[in-house]
Amino acid sequence: MGIGQEDMEQNLQQMVDALFGAHPYKIILSNPGKAIPDEGHGVRRYRKIVLNRLDGGWQAEQYTEKQVFHENLGEDGAEAFLLEALSSGFRQCNAWDGQWEFTIRISRGGKASFQKKRTAQAPKEKTGHDRKKRYILEEGTVIPPLTDMGIFTSEGKVVRSMYDKYRQINRFVELIDDEVDSLPKDHKITVIDFGCGKSYLTFILYYYLTELRGLDVRIIGLDLKEDVIRNCNRTAERYGYEGLHFELGDINGYECPHPVDMVLSLHACDTATDYALYHAVRWKAKLIFSVPCCQHELNRQMKGRELSILTRYGIVQERTAALMTDAIRGNLLTACGYKTQLLEFVDLSHTPKNILIRGVRTVIPQSVKQEARREVEALKEAFGFRPTLDALLSPEEERGAEDAD
C-alpha cells in the first residue's frame, strides 16, 4: 500500500472520529459507487444506509432496490461500520446532531472532504428500537374470523401463541392490498376462491375488502366437500357477510354468471392450480393470487441429461421441479398479458408452501410476452416437461388474450 493511500485512510478516520465526537442521532450514507466483486464488502449491494442512534446503541437500515435489512450495531459498532462503508464505495455521508449537519464527501479519486453547517431542517429522530409494525388488520379491532380462529381474543387482542399466524395473515392481506386499487370501479367486484376449504382467509378477505376498503364485493367460494360448504355458509350468515357465499363445485368446469375480477387459489393441489389459473386467464380476471401446493407433475416428467445433477438426488429434484413449475406458470401468465410476480408468502420456518403467484392484467409489450414464452419452451426442451397449464393456455394465447381491461 502506498503512502498516499495510507494518508487518505487516516484522513477519513479522523473525519469519522470528528463526526461521532459531535454525538449525531442520524447518519445517512448515499451515492454508492460501482460495486467491486469483493465478498468482504457486503455493504456495496445497498443503495442507501441509514444509521439511527437508539436506546442501547445504533441500528442500521440497509436499503436495496426492493427491500430493507436491519442490523443492530450496539454502542461501539457504528463508527467501524461507517468507516467500512465509506471505504467500500459510498461517496457521501450526512449526519445530524440537532443543530449542525455534517457532510463527508469522497471524490472519485478517493479524496475525502468534511463540511459542517447549521441545519435548516434536520430529519426526525427515530425514538423507538424495532418499533412495533402497524398491520392492516390492527390489534384492538374486533374481527370475528380472527376471533373464531383463536388468533384474537373477544376484545381484539392477539393471543400470544398465535402471533406468527397473525403476521402470516396480515402478510396475505398486504399482498392483496398492493394491487387492489387496480380493480374496476364501475361494477360490483366478483371474486372466485377455488378450493376454499374451511375458508379462513376467504372470510378475512371479505372483511378487508368491505370493512377496510369499502368495496361492493361478492365472493364465491368453491369446494368439493358438501359439509364444508354448508358450514361456511352458516358462518358467513352468522357474521352478516351478505356478499359471501359458498357453492359445491369443481375448479374444472365451473362457469361464473358474473364477470370475474379476482381469482384466488390457495393450496390447490398439483394441477388443480393450473386449472384455476387457466380459468382466471379465460375470464380475463384483473387480479390473480395463487399459492400452489403438492406439485408432482413436473417431478414425474423431469429428465435432464445435461443437468443430471438435478435429478440424481430425490429431494433436490423434487424442490427444483416445484420451483420450475411456478417459474413456468409465472411466464405463461406473462405471455397472456399479466404482470406477474412470485412472492414469498410465509417464512420457510412455518410451511414449505411459501410462494404466492400474483398476476395483474395489464398491457405487456409483445416482446416481453414472446421472451416469456421462449423461456418456457427452452425449459420444456431441456427437461422434457409437458406442463398442464401450457396445454390449457395455448389456445388462449392464439386467440390473443392480450388486451388489458
Which CATH number goes with the domain that contains 247? 3.40.50.150
Helices 226-239 and 200-207, axial angle in degrees (round to 10):
30
- Domain final position from 118, 152, 187: 118
Residues 158 and 214 grouped into a single domain = yes
Instruction: With cut-offs at 50, 70 and 90, classify the pLDDT of residue 402.
Output: very low
Q: Is residue 126 part of a domain?
A: no
Please compute the mean of the pLDDT values over residues 138-160 and round it to a whole number. Answer: 90
8 A C-beta contact, residue 19 and residue 95: yes
pLDDT: which is higher, 56 or 368: 368
Give the best-scoring range by mean pLDDT among 65-69, 267-271, 382-386.
382-386
Give the neighbor-by-neighbor strand order of the sheet with 189-194: 244-248, 217-223, 189-194, 262-269, 287-293, 355-361, 338-344
Which grid coordinates belong to 10? 487516516
In a domain, 132, yes or no: no
Polymer length of the chain: 405
Secondary structure in 3-state letters for the chain:
CCHHHHHHHHHHHHHHHHHHHCCCCEEEEEEECCCCCCCCCHHHHCCEEEEEEECCEEEEEEECCCCEEEEEEECCHHHHHHHHHHHCCEEEEEEECCCEEEEEEECCCCCEEEEEEECCCCCCCCCCCCCCCCCCCCCCCCCHHHHHCCCECCCCCECHHHHHHHHHHHHHHHHHHCCHHHCCCCCCEEEEEECCCCCHHHHHHHHHHHHHCCCCEEEEEEECCHHHHHHHHHHHHHHCCCCEEEEECCCCCCCCCCCCCEEEEEEEECCHHHHHHHHHHHCCCCEEEEEEECCCHHHHHCCCCCCCHHHHCHHHHHHHHHHHHHHHHHHHHHHCCEEEEEEECCCCCCCCCCEEEEEEECCCCHHHHHHHHHHHHHHHHHHCCCCHHHHHHHHHHHCCCCCCC
pTM of the model: 0.65
Sign of CA dihedral 46, 51, 52, 56: positive
Instruction: Report whether pLDDT(137) > 60.
Output: yes
Q: What's the domain count of the chain?
A: 2
Shared domain for 91 and 148, answered yes or no, is no
Residue 319 lies in a domain: yes
Report the alpha-carbon angle 383-384-390, nearest 5.
105
Question: Which of 67, 83, 118 delimits the end of a domain?
Answer: 118
Q: In angstroms, rounded to a whole number, what is the distance separating the alpha carbons of residues 112 and 102?
A: 13
Domain ranges, residue 223: 144-398
Alpha-carbon torsion angle 299, 301, 305, 311, nearest 10 = 20
Q: Is 249:222 a contact under the CB 8 Å cutoff? A: yes
Question: Do residue 32 and residue 90 come from a single domain?
Answer: yes
Would residue 139 count as lying in a domain?
Answer: no
List beta partners, residue 361.
338
Q: Which of 19, 36, 24, 28 is nearest to 87 (CA)?
A: 36
- Domain membership of residue 230 (yes or no) is yes
- Inter-residue contact 389 to 327 (CB < 8 Å): no
When pLDDT is averaged across residues 119-131 and rounded to a whole number, the result is: 61
Pair (107, 150) in one structural domain: no
Whether 288 and 323 map to the same domain: the answer is yes
pLDDT(294) > 50: yes
190 neighbors 261 (Cβ within 8 angstroms): yes
* Domain end position, chosen among 68, 100, 118: 118
- Confidence at 351, pLDDT banded by 50, 70, 90: low
Is residue 27's pLDDT more than 90?
yes
Sign of CA dihedral 29, 35, 39, 40: negative
Query: Are 52 and 113 found together in one domain?
Result: yes
In a domain, 404, yes or no: no
Q: Tell me: do 159 and 249 sit in the same domain.
A: yes
What Å distances lie between residue 36 and 4, 39, 45, 86, CA to CA? 21, 9, 10, 14
- pLDDT band at residue 97, thresholds of 50, 70 and 90? confident
196 and 308: one domain?
A: yes
Give the pLDDT confidence score for residue 337 in this predicted structure. 95
- 257 inside domain: yes
Q: Are 268 and 194 in contact (CB under 8 A)?
A: yes
Identity at 153, one-letter amino acid code: T
**Do 93 and 149 belong to one domain?**
no
Residue 125 confidence (pLDDT): 65
Is residue 56 in some structural domain?
yes
The C-alpha cell at 364 is 405487456
Same domain, 93 and 150: no
pLDDT at 126: 62
Same domain for 223 and 340, yes or no, is yes
**Does the structure show a pLDDT above 60 at 191?**
yes
Alpha-carbon distance of 30 to 32, in angstroms, equals 6
Are 185 and 63 found together in one domain? no
